[in-house]
A and B are shown apart, each in its own frame.
Chain A
Amino acid sequence: MKTRMWINLLGLALLLLTFPALHTMRTAVHSERVFHNSRVSPIIFIPGSSASQDRFDDLFQTFNHPKSKHSILKITVDTKNQIHHQGVIAARDRQPLIVIAFQNNHDGYTNIAHQTQWLQTAMNYLTNKYNFNNFYAIGHSNGGLNWTWYLEKYFNSNNLTVNALMTIGTPYNSLESNFKNQTAIFRQLYQHRQKLPHNMIVYSIAGTTNYENDGIVPYQSVEAAKYIFQKQVRKYTQITVTGHESNHSSLLANPEVARLIQSNILDSNLNNPNIKKP
């Protein structure tokens, strides 16, 4: 009888192991998940004004040709701060392409301010859901303004690393061709430029069809980026593309721009500051 009591006691003790075991397992899985996902480094695109989440479809096709290498996730934040998503990130994709678009995609200072807030919502959603800790940012036109503003105002470099920012035809001084006429958006970005992440690499691509502008955005407005980024970030490079497909809205179809993204962003894992070389 005494033996039986011991069996029952021991059995109970073994069953009770379930709870500390579960607790430890949860912790272990959590840290493994964080470790796993820190290897994911998405490339996040923001379209310019009046463009939807499908703005980059053609560009993505060139990246995924001839072999589909990157999964695509599209997100639109509506005016009520709600997130609508389309597409999935494949489990083992380390470089997914993500588009963040806004239902209110209009131009203008207040609209851009709102969009930047919505961008913050989208970024929180993405980092919580996919646990990545570093990413690449690409913005076309006003998308570049959203990124810059976000990086200055909302971005927390303790939780997240932005490896590189590439803006394509972004009007840093709105549509002003004379730099002496500083616009509200430029002043906003210039004032807080010291809050930019210092380890970031920035590329600003300008397109010109003549000697002055790309049909919409004046060359001087794109060039104004130097006052914001130079001496603030690790590297600031400005690139000008001309010739066929160099006007403002066709810049994304320009094979040279695609090549610049490919070589500076997609293939730049070797330059990833997160991967420290021994």
Chain B
Amino acid sequence: MIKNYSLNLLQTYRRLTLVLQKIYPLVLIDAYLRLIQCNFLLPNGFLNTISHLGRPNDWWVQNFNHAVQLYEILILFFMGYLLTEYFNKHSQFLLGFCTILILALVCFNSGRDPHNGILAPPLFVIVLISWIVARLFSKLPGKVLPIITSLVSGSLLNQINLNTLFMKLPGISTSSHHFNWWVILPLTVIRNGASWLGMIDPFMAAKQAINSPAATANLATALSQKTLNHVPHPLNSHTIYSSYAFLGGIGCTLGLLIALYLLHQDRLVLENLIPSTFGFNAPLLFALPLYANPILLIPYLLSPLASMLIGGLFIQLHWAQPAVYQIFSGTPSFLINFLGTNGNWGSLIATVLAIGASTIIYYPFIKYEVSHENQNVD
């Protein structure tokens, strides 16, 4: 019985992997679109600012944003459809349709904030819905009953989604003046673990905004004193967490990309080099896949920790200055600290070392994955 169950689980995981890899090209395109959005369509976009291009007019910006949002929703629908098909032994069009119906209802934002448009559910929820539809709805007789059940359950889930219950995960509180390693490290682990489970919107880019009291105080000091050596809070959630835990996106996947390069996964690296450098690692997470991958979970949790510790050490020993200034939106992640300190070479060295450390952490696991994959193919 237990053996049967675990075999079943393994099979489900294999199918999930297949679907994620099938979706990968679509997600890759999305990452490029997001990159354009962040870098060219926002007033302080990175490439836009450094190339002194003007911002395109609002009509373009708005339509582009809507198009990207719609495209992402369609990817999620397609994923739900494929998952339902893979989870059910006898693929039936009706079940795929039911999944899409439920997902459409879940996304529909009928609520308080009409400007927000669509509320995309996290991956975890999509997998769950697809699995339930594939396994349970198939037992319902006829065609009308599954559709009615979909409508009812979809509206119910919609209410839950509107209350953003899925989204409310342990975030990192940035309002504290006192920085505590014993809080920030476990929280990072929890947050990365949640994203590994697909509980965080994969398309969301890691934003780097200065809004915590400590970061604001640092900024004010830096602006009036011209030096970063005497900022009141050299260690805070901004200078450590936002600046070092997202080198290449959530999970410090820039190191993962370098590990892939060292292991001659050239095609994947070439496709992901630009999005990953700019911090959009969603395609990478789909391609391997990293989601729900038990082997890659370990480096995925460890490398941001190593990176943050290296950054913290450098700042503590005054080898690097803490990042203080507001950087451009969509700044390549290896430049976050360098630009955030207005060109402090120590912090660039710390960033390079942090990326090196995550490369070392990812390397053995990726090596195992790659050899494992090759075996499977043979």
**Chain A residues with a Cβ under 8 A of chain B:** 3-4, 6-7, 10-11, 14, 17-18, 20-26, 28-29, 32-33, 36-37, 40, 89, 91-92, 129-131
The interface residues of chain A lying within 8 Å CB-to-CB of B326 are 32
Are B225 and A22 neighbours in the complex by a CB distance under 8 Å? no
B223 adjacent to A14 (CB under 8 Å): no
Closest to B264 in A: A4
Per-residue contact bits, chain B 248-287, to A (CB 8 Å; 1 contact, 0 not): 0000000000000100101101100110010000000000
A129→B225 CA distance, assembly (Å) = 8
Q: 8 A-B contacts, Cβ less than 8 Å apart?
A: A7-B273, A10-B273, A17-B50, A20-B50, A25-B342, A28-B49, A37-B223, A92-B220
Contacts of A37 in B (CB 8 A): 223-224
Contact (Cβ within 8 A) A11 B339: no
Cβ contact within 8 Å between B223 and A22:
no
Asked whether A22 lies within 8 Å of B343 as measured between CB atoms, the reply is yes
B184 proximal to A (CB < 8 A)? no
Q: Which residues of B contact A3 (CB under 8 A)?
A: 266-267, 270
How many residues of B are counted as interface, with CB atoms below 8 angstroms from the partner's CB atoms?
A: 32
Q: How far is the CA of A92 from the CA of B53 in the complex (A)?
A: 34
Binding site for A on B (CB under 8 A): 46, 49-51, 217, 220-221, 223-226, 232, 261, 264, 266-267, 269-270, 273-274, 277, 325-328, 331-332, 335, 338-339, 342-343
Q: What is the predominant secondary structure among interface residues of chain A facing chain B?
A: helix
Measured CB to CB, the nearest residue on chain A to B267 is A3
**Known contacts A17-B50, A25-B325, A29-B342: does B269 contact A7 (CB below 8 Å)?**
yes
- Tell me the nearest residue of chain A to B44, going by C-beta: A28
Q: What's the nearest-Cβ distance from chain B to residue A23, in Å?
A: 8
Are the C-beta atoms of A40 and B224 separated by less than 8 Å?
A: yes
CB contact under 8 A between A21 and B224, given known A7-B266, A14-B274: no
Contact A7 B223 (CB under 8 A): no
Question: In whole Å, how far is B36's beta carbon from the nearest beta carbon of chain A?
Answer: 16
Whether A17 contacts B343 by the Cβ 8 Å rule is no
Residue of B with least CB distance to A23? B50
Residues in A whose Cβ lies below 8 Å from that of B270: 3, 6-7, 10
Question: Is B325 touching A29 in the complex (CB atoms < 8 A)?
Answer: yes
Q: Is the CB of A36 within 8 A of B267?
A: no
Q: Which residue of A lies closest to B343 (CB)?
A: A22
**Contact partner, A21, options B50, B261, B266, B325, Cβ 8 Å:** B50
In whole angstroms, what is the CA distance A158 to B174 when docked? 42
Tell me which of B220, B226, B338 contacts A22 (CB under 8 A): B338
Q: Are B343 and A25 in contact (CB under 8 A)?
A: yes
Q: Could you tell me the distance in whole angstroms from the C-beta of A136 to the nearest C-beta in chain B?
A: 18
Q: How far is the CB of B176 from chain A (nearest CB, A)?
A: 19
8 smallest beta-carbon distances between A and B, as pairs: A91-B221, A3-B266, A36-B223, A25-B339, A24-B50, A20-B50, A91-B220, A29-B342
Structural contact, B339 and A21, CB atoms closer than 8 A: yes
Q: Among the listed B217, B273, B335, B338, which residue makes an inter-chain contact with A91, where contact means beta carbons less than 8 Å apart?
A: B217
Closest CB of chain A to B325's CB: distance in Å? 5
List residues of chain A with CB within 8 A of the CB of B335.
17-18, 21
**Beta-carbon contact of A21 and B331 below 8 Å:** yes
Q: Which chain B residues border A36 with CB–CB below 8 Å? A: 220, 223-224
Task: Give complex CA distance A4, B51 in Å.
Answer: 27
Q: In the complex, what's the smallest C-beta–C-beta distance from A68 to chain B, in angstroms?
A: 17
Q: Which residues of A contact B332 (CB under 8 A)?
A: 14, 17, 21
Question: Taking each of B224, B270, B273, which has the highest tally of chain A beta carbons within 10 Å of its own beta carbon?
Answer: B224
When chains A and B are docked, how far (Å) is the Cα of A131 from the Cα of B223? 10
Closest to B274 in A: A10
**A20 / chain B contacts, CB cutoff of 8 Å:** 50-51
Cα distance, A32 to B232, chains bound together (Å): 19
Closest Cβ–Cβ distance, residue A99 to chain B (whole Å): 19
**CB neighbours of B328 from chain A (8 A):** 21, 24-25, 28
Q: Which residue of A lies closest to B216 (CB)?
A: A92
A32 to B49, CA, bound (A): 15
What are the residues of chain B within 8 A of A89 when measuring CB–CB? Answer: 224
Contacts of A24 in B (CB 8 A): 49-50, 328
Question: Which chain B positions have C-beta within 8 A of A129?
Answer: 226
